Amino acid sequence: MLHNIGNAISLVFKSLMNRRATAILTVASIAVSAGLLSVVERVRTDTQASFANTISGTDLIIGARSGDLNLLLYSVFRIGNPTNNITWESYETIGSRPEVDWTIPFSLGDAHRGYRVLATDLDYFDHYRYADRRKLAFWKGGPFATASEAVIGAEVAERLGYDVGREIIVSHGLTETSFLTHDEDPFTITGILERTGTPVDRTVHISLSGMDLIHSSGAGRVPAPVEGYEPEAITAFLVGLKSKISIFALQRYVNEFEAEPMTAVIPGVALQQLWGLIRVAEYALFGVSAMVVLASVLGLLATLLVSLNERRREMSVLRSVGARPGHIFALLLSEAAMLAFLGALSGLLLIQLGIVAIRQFALTEFGIQMSVGLRAFDFHVLAGILGIAVLVSVIPAWRAYRNSLADGLTVRL
Amino acid sequence: MIRKTRNERIATWLPLLCALAVLGLAPAAAPAQHVHGVIELGVVVEGGTVAVSLDAPLSDVVGFEHAPESDEQLDRIRQAAAVLGNANAMFALADSARCEISATSIDGPAYLTQHLAEEDAGSAESHGHDHDSHHSHSAHDEHADHDGHDHDSHHGHSAHDEHAGHDGHDHQESEQHAEVNASYEWACGNVSAVEALGLRFAESFTGIETIEIQILTSAGAHVLTADGRISSVPLSPP
């Protein structure tokens, strides 16, 4: 009777349907654990990819002396705050070295309605690269041409409903409700950048002269031109080299710069250090998720063991219609496999729905791009759970096998 | 009242990340650091060129960080200079890559680099012979002009040099740091065959416990921390 697989599966399925409440709960617990494991891994890889995609083609980031990660995070990811400024002279000295191809000055520290303001020069739009060396592109309008013009990122435009031509106020400081709001210095939006999926989307860009305009006080201020403007200090700058060969030499030169203490970091290296630091946390999360998977499989084992006694009758019936003890063994194994498979598969499919639901939120709030679709890791999860389930279900299967042998030999009332 | 920016929400979402960043717990914080037992190796592969940059505390190379004060110490300085000045004694690249050393530059305290110049001029064979005579002579010199004005014979003005060429009147051994910065460049006929960088200096430089390696290739950047005795560094990302 168990000659073909179709029959066997239908038998297992019918048997499970007879105990559907426990079966569904078991499937659900496995689904949750599989989903959790998959989500933890997915968030890790997507976060790393999103961070790695934020900066491309920049060889060194140079700022005032601080930790490598601090410099990387505040300059590129706009997380945390700069430690200090560096002088324009230092910027020019390093920028004019023969191995340097281009530089982009950054001045940070102000905000517009919670979005950080980045003061830079026009080289930013020419040389800044993200993802796979992609250049910033304008969705609307063009770069700022005067000190009182601004270019906004895609998310700023979308969230605040801004369009080209709109006037905005930049406040001194990073909070939305700053006391020092300079009503007299509105910036006109001249351009909106295309969406990049990076912190650029959440940035208001102004010129260096615009930044000084906000910070200078009193009447009689004359807006300086954008081109060729030289502020006294900037926060940091990005450097592109003609050849990467000189990268470590320039890094050493900057780190030992005499005029003022500075730090130069290689973005890719600093990111690797960052992942190295949070790897412990990742391992912990991963370990916890793996334990949850184990717990759910143990739950499956417990359910199967408990069910054995109440299913003696079922087994006896099967035996009476010709099933051999080996069939009983296989029945239990396939039952466990089916529960595990259904659980893991539904867990993995459910998180896809979850990702669709939170994808926009993750992108706009955290700048993390999550993609739908099963990945190689998900199949490992599926296979792993299936394997462990089959392995542990050998115990109830063996007991059922022994029971069926004994039940066949002794007559009970 | 105070609304956080979106970016700051990233920070709250990854508190560990941010906390660690603010604490500045940056391992391998570029050549600015000076940790005994730790040397830093930077490797760049671009076009047909392989460039290696090495930063090491002098104590890891010769066992001390001051001008040689005994014959034995001078010996070690000279040996270190001989190894540092010879790219083939420092590193190995696959033969099939057909790499030729195209540039070598060693930066460090003058009492080290002056021997380097000798090594460059009079190569290996003369080394053994005039060793003894020069040895004592030079050690004497070192002691004589220990006030360190012309110590900085090399181009770079590194902070470490200033330390090394200290006036000497109040220096304490523990506060004195000297560093060696060496860089090498190879031009390779078949750069794709360069899959690893062989390290040969472990036998000569005894103090190295850890090597922190930064590798930049067309495949991107990656960092490794290795035991000081490893003999080869794979250049492709793990």
Q: Cβ separation of A79 and B7 shorter than 8 Å? A: yes
Which residues of chain A are within 8 Å of residue B3 when distances are taken between CB atoms?
114, 175-177
Q: Cβ separation of B31 and A366 shorter than 8 Å? A: no
Which residues of chain A are within 8 Å of residue B49 when distances are taken between CB atoms?
243, 245
Q: Cβ separation of A247 and B6 shorter than 8 Å? A: no
**Alpha-carbon span B85 to B127, nearest angstrom:** 13
Which residues of chain A are within 8 Å of residue B53 when distances are taken between CB atoms?
248-249, 252
**Alpha-carbon span A289 to A297, nearest angstrom:** 12
Q: Cβ separation of A68 and B20 shorter than 8 Å? A: no
- pLDDT in the model for residue A3: 58
- pLDDT in the model for residue B92: 93
In order, the DSSP letters of A14-75 are HHHHHTHHHHHHHHHHHHHHHHHHHHHHHHHHHHHHHHHHH-BS--EEEEES--HHHHHIII
Structure tokens at B164: 């090394």
Model ipTM?
Answer: 0.73
* Best A198, A252, A282 residue to mutate vs chain B (most B CBs within 10 Å): A252
Sheet of B179-188: strand order equals: B99-107, B179-188, B49-57, B38-46, B210-217, B220-227
Structure tokens at A2: 């168990």
B216 at A interface, C-beta within 8 A: yes
* Best A93, A248, A361 residue to mutate vs chain B (most B CBs within 10 Å): A248
Q: How many CB pairs under 8 A join A and B?
A: 154
Of residues B238 and A357, more confidently modeled:
A357
Single pTM value for the model: 0.76
Whether pLDDT at A396 is above 50: yes
- pLDDT in the model for residue B18: 43
Whether pLDDT at B21 is above 60: no
Nearest one of B228, B209, B179, B204 to B88, comparing CA atoms: B204
- Residue window 225-254, chain A: list those with CB within 8 Å of chain B: 243-245, 247-249, 251-252
- Could you give the percent of chain A with pLDDT greater than 90? 54
Q: Which residues pair with B215 in a beta bridge?
A: B43, B222
Of residues A411 and A149, more confidently modeled:
A149
Which residues of chain A are within 8 Å of residue B163 when distances are taken between CB atoms?
none
